[in-house]
Amino acid sequence: MQLKRIIALRVIALLTIMIITVSTAYAYFTIQRHRELTLNLWKTRSAVLAEGFKHLILWDDRVAIRQMMLSEVKGSDTLLYGFLLKGGEPYVYTFEKGVPLPLLQQRPPTDVQPVWEFEDSEDMVVYDLATVIDASGTALRIGLKRSAIDAKMQPLLISFCLIGLLSIGVGSYLAFLIARRTTREVDTLAEAIARYGELADENGPAITATTSEVTELVKSFKQLTARRRGAELALASLNTQLEQRVNERTVQLTAANLELDSFAYSVSHDLRAPLRGVEGFSCALQEDYADRLDETGNDYINRIRKGCVRMGRLIDDLLKLSRITRREINRVPVDLSRMAEQVLLDLKASEPDRNVEVRIDSGVVASADLTLIRSVLENLLGNAWKFTRHTAMPCIHFSSLNNNGDCIYCIRDNGAGFNMAYADKLFLVFQRLHRADEFDGTGIGLASVQRVLLMHGGRIWAEGEEGKGAAFYFTLGDKEP
């Protein structure tokens, strides 16, 4: 409907402009031609009058000449006045008070019957026509009213206007028919496209194409619709399969979680019991038989006890990692600056003899799970505290920065650092880049940190250099407030 209206309006506007332009031009040239023909007619009439006045002028019969002039003026609505000039002076005239001075001052050229156009005192446009009667300079001057000449064209102009309006009306009707004929098929197709109807269905909008262009368009649209239907069916089938796979994976995940719970229970109870037995018997052996064992035997027992302690810590870390994967996130606003201060105070209390420079940026706030984010800071700040143990002037710095609206938190130290070639192993379980006799640890802390940050929708990465410290960057999926 919109396309039909646009086409009809454009055709009507173009047709109206053409008709008005042609009519105006034709009316203008018709009026001009009518004026020219009227002037030529009065030139002939003036010559006839001048010829009749010759004998009367010889007899000096001014009364007869004036009567003839008045008869001409009264008998024509076009003729305004008439007068004779003889020797440059008024001889006979139709004016009541004499010939107006502007007419006397006007000296027409000497060519045959010149026409002078002027406006009188009443703003009437007058054609003044001069006809020479004899060689002595006697001339007949008559005045014609242009308004009276143009008034005779009014019926023709009215007819012209009526014909133009009729032409515009007929043209508008034809434009409407053309627009309807042109857009009938397109409107049907546009309606089908708007509804994205199924043209192949019985309920779809019917299209009867009568032009090759529309036939091709309908054919292409039907092919497109058929492809869309095929894609929808394939997508529906994939969605069904995906839903089935999700259900299957959900069942598998539930079973895996149950197995993980069983494993955690086994680790917590079944493995700890024999480990406590090994540690208890090794302790009793060292206490009861220390005097019977040499130095090598006592060293073996010490190694067994240290291994038991390390194994216990490893079991604790594995249980913590297992619990993290099953915990739900409860985000709350957390003051990370204050939390970092508390963690470092605990670390200083554990080793009061160490002198570590601590710098914590104030006002670092994030949206995170309170318990889980504390475990992240304990692991990262604990690593920074641990790996600066052999540094002469240790320094730990906690800060944050804004990167295009993303909050990035950083924990930097000047400790042992690491080789960037092995950076991809930092966050894997049981992967350690330093020997156990240099720095203690189980290799699970950074893996649990990565799990926590992924659960928050964030990530973690690190930069470092051996002997020059390391920097750990992480995000929590929140934005700069």
pLDDT tens digits for 372-389?
A: 888 889 888 988 888 888
Residue 355 — φ and ψ, nearest 5°? -115, 100
Q: Is the dihedral of CA 45, 48, 50, 53 positive or negative?
A: negative
Provide the b/e sequence for 7-20 (b: ≥16 CB within 10 Å): bbeebbeebbeebe
State the DSSP string of 265-299.
Answer: HIIIIIIHHHHHHHHHHHHHHHHHSTTTS-HHHHH
Query: From CA 52, how far away is CA 69, in angstroms rounded?
Result: 11
Among the listed residues 459, 458, 461, the one whose alpha carbon sits nearest the alpha carbon of residue 472: 461
The per-residue pLDDT for 282 is 77
Among the listed residues 383, 330, 339, 347, the one whose alpha carbon sits nearest the alpha carbon of residue 363: 339
Percent of the chain with pLDDT over 90: 7
pLDDT (tens digit, 9 = 90+) per residue, 396-433? 999 998 877 788 999 999 988 887 777 777 776 555 55
The per-residue pLDDT for 262 is 67
Looking at the predicted structure, is the pLDDT value of residue 287 above 60?
yes
**Per-residue pLDDT averaged across 305-319, rounded?**
69
Q: How many residues does the chain have?
A: 481
Looking at the predicted structure, is the pLDDT value of residue 339 above 90?
yes
CA angle 462, 339, 392 (to 5 degrees): 55
The per-residue pLDDT for 398 is 93
Looking at the predicted structure, is the pLDDT value of residue 57 above 90?
no
CB atoms within 10 A of CB 254: 10
Tell me which of 23 and 212 has the higher pLDDT. 23
The per-residue pLDDT for 200 is 47
The per-residue pLDDT for 473 is 92
**Per-residue pLDDT averaged across 127-143, rounded?**
85
Query: From CA 26, how far away is CA 33, in angstroms rounded?
Result: 10
Among the listed residues 139, 131, 142, the one whose alpha carbon sits nearest the alpha carbon of residue 88: 139
Instruction: Dig out the tokens for 54 from the structure.
Output: 């010759």
Report how far apart the first and last C-alpha atoms of the chain are (Å, whole number): 50
Tell me which of 276 and 164 has the higher pLDDT. 164
Instruction: Dig out the tokens for 3 from the structure.
Output: 């396309």
pLDDT (tens digit, 9 = 90+) per residue, 60-95? 888 898 899 999 889 888 998 899 888 778 889 898
Percent of the chain with pLDDT over 70: 77
Is residue 337 within 8 A of residue 364, CB to CB? The reply is yes
Among the listed residues 169, 170, 188, 172, the one whose alpha carbon sits nearest the alpha carbon of residue 9: 172
Instruction: Dig out the tokens for 285 from the structure.
Output: 């052996």
Query: From CA 12, how far away is CA 18, in angstroms rounded?
Result: 10
The per-residue pLDDT for 337 is 93
pTM: 0.43
The per-residue pLDDT for 474 is 92
pLDDT (tens digit, 9 = 90+) per residue, 150-180? 888 888 888 878 888 888 888 888 877 777 7
- Residue in this structure with the two tokens 């269905």, named with its chain if needed: 201
Looking at the predicted structure, is the pLDDT value of residue 323 above 70?
no
The per-residue pLDDT for 446 is 80
Across the chain, mean pLDDT equals 79
Q: pLDDT-based confidence at 199, cuts 50/70/90?
A: very low
Alpha-carbon dihedral 93, 98, 103, 106, rounded to 10 degrees = 90
Say how far residue 179 (Cα) sits from the centre of its chain. Answer: 32
Among the listed residues 6, 23, 307, 332, the one whose alpha carbon sits nearest the alpha carbon of residue 159: 23
Query: From CA 380, how far away is CA 450, in angstroms rounded?
Result: 11
The per-residue pLDDT for 202 is 46
Q: pLDDT-based confidence at 210, cuts 50/70/90?
A: low
Is residue 452 within 8 A of residue 373, CB to CB? The reply is yes
- The neighbouring-strand residues paired with 397 are 359, 412
Map 227-255 to HEC letters.
HHHHHHHHHHHHHHHHHHHHHHHHHHHHH
Residue 135, class by beta-carbon neighbours within 10 Å (0-12 exposed, 13-18 middle, 19+ buried)?
exposed
Lowest mean pLDDT among 135-139, 229-233, 266-270: 266-270
Looking at the predicted structure, is the pLDDT value of residue 341 above 50?
yes
Say how far residue 362 (Cα) sits from the centre of its chain. Answer: 41
Among the listed residues 143, 142, 139, 144, the one whose alpha carbon sits nearest the alpha carbon of residue 90: 139
Cα within 13 Å of Cα(67), Cβ side: 5
Report the number of secondary-structure helices (H) and strands (E) in the chain. Answer: 11, 12
Question: Residues with Cβ < 8 Å from 118, sequence gap 6 or more?
Answer: 102, 106, 125, 126, 128
Query: From CA 67, how far away is CA 306, in angstroms rounded?
Result: 154
- The neighbouring-strand residues paired with 403 are 406
Helix, strand or coil, per DSSP, at residue 456: coil
Identity at 180, one-letter amino acid code? R
DSSP-H helix ranges across 77-134: 101-105
Lowest mean pLDDT among 4-8, 29-33, 159-163, 203-207: 203-207
Map 390-430 to HEC letters.
CCCCCEEEEEEEEECCEEEEEEEECCCCCCHHHHHHCCCCC
Provide the b/e sequence for 47-62 (b: ≥16 CB within 10 Å): bebbeebeebbeeeee
Query: From CA 477, how far away is CA 358, in angstroms rounded?
Result: 27
